[in-house]
Structure 1
Amino acid sequence: MAEMQSLPPEIVFHITRFLEPRDIVTLQHVSKRFLELGRDDALWREQCFNASSFLTNLRRRQQLITSESTQELRFRDLARALANGNGLGDSRLIKPREEARDLKARSNEKIRVMANWDPSYPGEKVQWYDEYIARNAPISTSWLQQPRNRESPEHEYLEVRGMGLYTPAGEDDATLVVGPLDDGSVCIWDISGTKGRKGSIIARSKSGLISADGSQIGTGKRSKLISDGITECVSVDSGRKRAFFAVQSGLVEFDLETLSTISHEEFSFSITALSEAKHPVPLTVGTDLSLYLHDPRARRNTGQAGRSDFERLDSYESSFGSLRSQGLGDSRRLLNPEPSPLYAHPHHPGPLSILHLPSSGNEWDGNGEIYVAGRFPSILNYDRRYFPRLRGTIHSGARLCSMASLPYPFASMEKDLARRGELSIEQVWEAKTRPGKTLIACGEYNTKGSLEMYGLSPEPYLSTISSDSSAGSLQNSVMRNRQTSSSSKLLSVANHGTRIVVSDGGGNLKWLERDGFTEARRWNIAHGSVEAPRGIFGTLGDSYMDPGSGDIVIKIANTTNGRSGQVVNEDLVLWTGDKIGLLSFSSKPGFSAESFEETGNKTPEQIRTEREERTYAETMGRALEANANEVRWMRGLGLGMS
């Protein structure tokens, strides 16, 4: 062991290259020195490359295109000898030199191919050991504690109607999750274990606070809540410790410290999307037929949170008061396509996702861009300084429902060549260092999933802002993956480490490289979840029903704030429309919703029996539902019935 400890690092690295990843991890337990050497970024970057589907696809492509024939291999030495004119004897003397050159050429070729694969950009700080874990380690899903109805004698479970991440002061990453419940209360969960038990509820407000109007506050009655199909309905401002909830046509501002309502603003139409809330940038609110910039600082402080007659901002009275308070005159103005100085007309109903992008290196300088996507064929772009004038559009043709971004350039041609390993090292460097940003969007195109990436120009408009500007001024490169992204609609997209993660209508999560095509791995949320039902005739240990538990991931959130270019593979927070889960890289879930239930005087055998009964009931219900769907589909076939 003493001799091993005295070996130079270069020798240790050379030895570890012949080890399997599991053996390298075991080597880290030998000593602190081997622990440090065993976490070397270059070592694990190579391991990620060796285990990537990129390398597998490249080898398969090379075998099909550039494989040498048997005859060429047989007469290679003879051809070299004849070319030198020295006979076979001299050929044997030259062969070692040729092999040395071939070895160097192969080494250079590996460096070039690895550069084509490398998903990181200059300036990004990638922890490749964590990246390898995120790409290859087992995945499990843990479900947060499910709240119960406090007003009902049965104390039935309540649905979680939205999700937003909350990063308390002094924390680098999000450690809490905020969500409205079906009874109009607001619930806060701990997902890091710093405030309480990991996955547990640490705070919950009174019922009825989050409602379409304030008339039911404190009554305990079921309130009108968020409309179905609205994903971006919660936005959390961690700096001000406030949360915003879209409740039909109302926007509720909520204090996360006192768990009380601050204000309730009424809009003329139902709210369909909220942007990220971060002080001091105004919140962008999208309704069915209009877009607004909502600045909470401009509202007068009434000091009477919780009143049924919520006071509204004076400057907004003429632009988006409720229909019942303003009459038909203002609603006709909203339906009129004439421009307004107070709100923007998308000209198409139904914005579903709003993304804020900075205009410079300072992310929150107040002069950033606003991108809006939804049930219309183009992505709309606004400049906050010139709002509500439309800056330009990017044609998509798909119905988009989620967007994300990268502060790095995107060029589809270079990405295609790099995916095939055809770029030189200089070309890779040039493509990654040019100015620009990347806009990522997902949705549905002709019933199939559509993943789209747009390379945004660094300065699309230098002098004028025009409503009829061409799309080419906004984006300089386009990639639309409508073939292999998903066979069903894509619901959400997010950045995760050096990859892109998407969710679809089949309950699947798929990680892709930043080219938008190369798949890194996939997962179904039923797998590895202790709450996923088993097959109808299954026993413990059997595989789960395909396509899983029936849950789908409507929204994905990354707990990492992306500070100072750091790329971290943290857990993913998943919202299914009625509950929230935590996806982590481990062999089994850390907890489940049942882990937080009080068992009282029940024995372990009684708890196990109740769990099996509940699983059996859920499985039988899904089996009967599937049988009913099959009967409806077969009804009338071959019988001449309509």
Structure 2
Amino acid sequence: MEHLPSEIILSILSFLNPIEITSLRGISKRLYKLINDNELWRRICFEQFISRHNQKRSPVGLFQNHPQIQEFRRRAEAALSAQQAWVDATATGSNNAAASDVDPREPQPLETPISSNHVEVEARERARRLANWDPTYHNESIDWYAEYIARYAKLSCNWFQPALVSDSRPNGSTIEVKGLALFGSEHVVAPLEDDSFGIWYTGHQDIDRQGRLIHKSKPGLLSIGKGDKAGVSPTIVSAVTVDNTRGKGYVVVQDHIQEIDLKTLQLSSSQQLPAKIAALSDFTDHLPLTVGTKSAVHLYDPRTKVRREQIGASESLDLMSTYPEVKANGNSLSILTTGNFDRFASLHQVGPTAIQHLFRNSTDCTSSDIVVCGRFPSLLVYDRRCFPRLKTTLYSGAQLCGLAALPHGYSSVDSEIMRRGELTMNAAQEAKSRSGYTLFACGEYSGKGSLEIYGLSDDDITVQTSTFKNRVSAAQAKMLSIANHGTRLVVSDATGAVHWIERDGQTLVRRWNINQYEQYGNQWRPSGAEVALKVLPMAQTQSSKAYEDGMLFWTGERIGLMSFLPQARFGGNNGSDWEQILDDGVDSIRRREEKIYGETMKRALERSADEVRWMSGLGLGS
């Protein structure tokens, strides 16, 4: 095989399964290079998709296993089988009748040879279907081997090492984690319940330290000193963000933004806003943070804190002429007294939950658009250059709590046609080269999960080019968080499930529940009460083993990692190793009672939600 042409070797590899192909990588350098070919794994991903979905994309199904659906399928398949049997019998009778009129003594014509263009036509058809399926956009670089691992490899769940409380509490108790963010490519950071700050190691260089809490600040570092309830806000999903360039972390504590030096774990500065903070954007170099309070949206630039500290009270009053929207009443007076002079946009309806910055691509942060969603029916779009004026709104009708975006255009019509595999190759390439933005949103609509896609124009973002809303088959319960993961979307819901969905918003790639499953009668249900409030893909650009990097998730109390490996990377599947380490002095009875109470309340809420959905389907819901 070593001396064969590359085309013949790749043709031979097409007859092997992926496990057999990867086992050949160690034979020679030439085979290693050929087997790592990106186009080879792209074709393998396509073939796996075809075999699993029976040559058509299957939607994310809520009622795939419903008895009535299964009975309908059984009857339809029986009817099709009977029809096919009748056609075959008719064709056989016709052939027998025709054969009886033929004189066997006469010479018979040879069979018609297969057309020479048949192979070419089949190859072109296969290429067309592959172009329709390919989820990548124009000039998007994708590691298809890592894609195959993320789509079809076995999954394992890992829990990060918990932190211990101070001596003032029962010895051995653990501290709840109150956020999640990535620091570089090898560390995870988060604020803790005792107002301290922790750093966990996730790199591949030191396997023994993976998942361990390697640094923790002193308790009370993040406290703003206003009583026992002045610690890290427990209800904010985006409570922490990181500036990797300067090594700074920004943590939401009630109405303050606390700046942490991640190298020394010391508090660098503290800035107060007029009201409690409800949402915080991710940090991007050279751009200010966008902060959402209960009734307003603010721009906060950490680089201006030195200038603010040097401005006196008398000089602060002169800034009212610069920002006419700042008036000396209510919350605006608080802005003057706290030294925070960022412009703000008032919200007519309270409750922002997520903020997303739109960019033209991952390296050129030239866009100035900000999208805000929350407990109001529309997404709000602002232009940073014209802030606080509202640029446009995108009507949703759902209560949204998660946002993600791509610097590529979107058309719901083209997406649906490509999902059915009906576009030509040129049309498919043109659809994937469209300029603009794609905005993904998740949340809840009438008790079910809602996954929504908005296409926005590149020239004028006020022009909405297309909209798609999946409110039937997206998820059984409210969707909590959404993120881009390779060529897929990853979404978590209120049942503890994590879904990987194609960019069309309908096709399910795989699903995983972070809880264990136990049998209740004839049904299998999650035994735990954990849900992933936030999902965050790990950075893969600097990793030598990119396919081993998985998906981080935060449950509101602890941090976990879903790895695309058959065995857990650290801590055991259920964190039993960490629990054994921390078992000394732990009140096991109290922990068991808390677990039973949580599971009982989870089942009660699930039954109540099922009843509401059932009554809504009958038209009797409120």
Q: Work out the CA distance in 2 between the residues paired with 1:101 and 1:445.
A: 52
Distance in 2 separating the partners of 1:480 and 1:629:
26
> Structure 1: which 5+ residue stretches go unaligned?
168-173, 217-221, 305-310, 320-325, 335-339, 462-472, 528-532, 538-542, 601-605, 634-642
Q: Is contact 1:299-1:312 (8 Å) kept?
A: no
Q: Which residue of the partner structure matches residue 581 of structure 1?
A: 560
The structural deviation recorded for 1:185 is 0.5
Q: How does 1:508-519 map to 2 (within 5 A)?
A: 508-519=497-508
Paired residues of 1:239 and 1:278 also in contact (CA < 8 A): no
Report what 1:110 is aligned to: 126
Aligned residues of 1:536 and 1:619 also touching (Cα < 8 A): no
Q: What SS does structure 2 have at the residue aligned with 1:460? A: coil
Structure 2 equivalent of residue 189 of structure 1: 200
- 1-side partners of 2:247 and 2:387: how far apart? 27
Q: 1:437·1:458 contact (CA, 8 Å) conserved in 2? A: yes
Match of 1:237 among 236, 239, 243: 243
Say if 1:562 and 1:568, in contact at 8 Å, map to a contact too. no
Moved over 6 A (4+): 63-68, 70-74, 76-79, 87-91, 301-304, 311-314, 316-319, 331-334, 533-537, 610-619, 626-633
2:406 maps to amino acid: L
2:465 maps to a residue whose letter is N
Could you tell me which residue of structure 2 aligns to residue 208 of structure 1?
220
1:3-402 correspondence to structure 2 within 5 Å: 4-52=1-49, 56=53, 58-59=55-56, 93=110, 95-98=112-115, 100-152=116-168, 153-167=170-184, 174-194=185-205, 197-211=209-223, 213-214=224-225, 224-300=230-306, 329-330=330-331, 342-358=343-359, 363-365=364-366, 368-402=368-402
Match of 1:490 in 2: 479
Answer yes or no: is the 8 Å Cα contact 1:193–1:199 preserved in 2.
Answer: no
Structure 1: distance between partners of 2:524 and 2:86: 52
State the Cα distance separating 1:177 from its structure 2 match: 1.2
Q: Determine the C-alpha separation between the residues in 2 that align with 1:426 and 1:438.
A: 21
Q: Distance in 2 between matches of 1:598 and 1:312?
A: 56
Structure 2: which amino acid aligns with 1:520? V
- Percent of residue pairs identical: 37
Task: Give the C-alpha shift of residue 55 in structure 1.
Answer: 6.4
**Partners in 2 of 1:401 and 1:102 — Cα distance?**
52
Which AA in structure 2 matches 1:363?
D
Q: Verify the 8 A CA contact 1:500 1:512 in the aligned structure 2.
A: yes
- Partner amino acid, structure 2, of 1:24: I
SS of the residue corresponding to residue 125 of structure 1 reads coil
Letter of the 1:284 partner, please give it.
Answer: T
Check conservation: 1:497, 1:569, Cα contact below 8 A. no
Give me the whole-angstrom Cα distance separating, in 2, the residues matched to 1:501 and 1:29.
33
Asked if the contact 1:54–1:518 (Cα under 8 Å) also holds between the matched residues in 2, the reply is no
**CA offset digits 1:202-252 (Å, max 9, x no partner):** 2111111212x2467xxxxx5522334311111111111111111121221
**Is 2:483 aligned against 1:477?**
no
Deviations 1:433-475 (CA, angstroms, capped at 9, x unpaired) = 12112111111111110111111101116xxxxxxxxxxx332
With 28-37 and 575-584 compared, the bigger mean Cα shift is at 28-37
TM superposition shift of 1:95: 2.1
**Secondary structure at the residue paired with 1:96?**
coil
Maintained 8 Å contact 1:497/1:568:
no
CA RMSD of aligned residues (A): 4.2
Q: Against the structure 1 CA distance between its residues 437 and 193, is the aligned structure 2 distance closer, same or farther, given a 3 Å change threshold?
A: same
- Asked if 1 retains the 8 angstrom alpha-carbon contact of 2:291 and 2:298, the reply is yes
- Structure 1 residue aligned with 2:535: 556
CA contact (8 A) 1:58 1:420 kept: no
Change (3 A) 1:281 1:551: same
- Once residues 493 and 178 of structure 2 are traced to their aligned partners in structure 1, the CA distance between those partners, rounded to angstroms, is 19
Deviates more, 1:158-167 or 1:29-38: 29-38
Q: Distance in 2 between matches of 1:92 and 1:388?
A: 83
**Structure 2 counterpart of 1:285, one-letter code:** V
Q: Distance in 2 between matches of 1:457 and 1:301?
A: 37
Within 5 Å, give how 1:446-465 maps onto structure 2: 446-460=446-460
Aligned to 1:603: none
Give ranges in structure 2 of 5+ residues lacking alignment.
59-75, 321-326, 336-340, 610-622
Residues 515-594 of structure 1: pairs in structure 2 closer than 5 A: 515-527=504-516, 546-560=525-539, 570-592=549-571, 593-594=575-576
Aligned length: 564
Distance 2:313 2:239 in 1: 20
For residues 122-166 of structure 1, the C-alpha deviation after alignment (integer angstroms, 9 at most, x for no partner) is 212222122111111110111111011023351410000111111
In the aligned structure 2, how far is the partner of 1:631 from the partner of 1:526? 18
- Mapping for residues 624-635 of structure 1, pairs under 5 Å: none
TM-score, normalised by the number of residues in structure 1: 0.77
Task: Mark the CA change 1:139 to 1:233 in structure 2 (over 3 Å): closer, same or farther.
Answer: same
Cα distance between partner residues in 1 of 2:559 and 2:506: 28
TM (norm. structure 2) is: 0.80
Give, in whole Å, the separation in 1 of the partners of 2:563 and 2:313. Answer: 43
Aligned partner of residue 501 in structure 1, secondary structure = strand
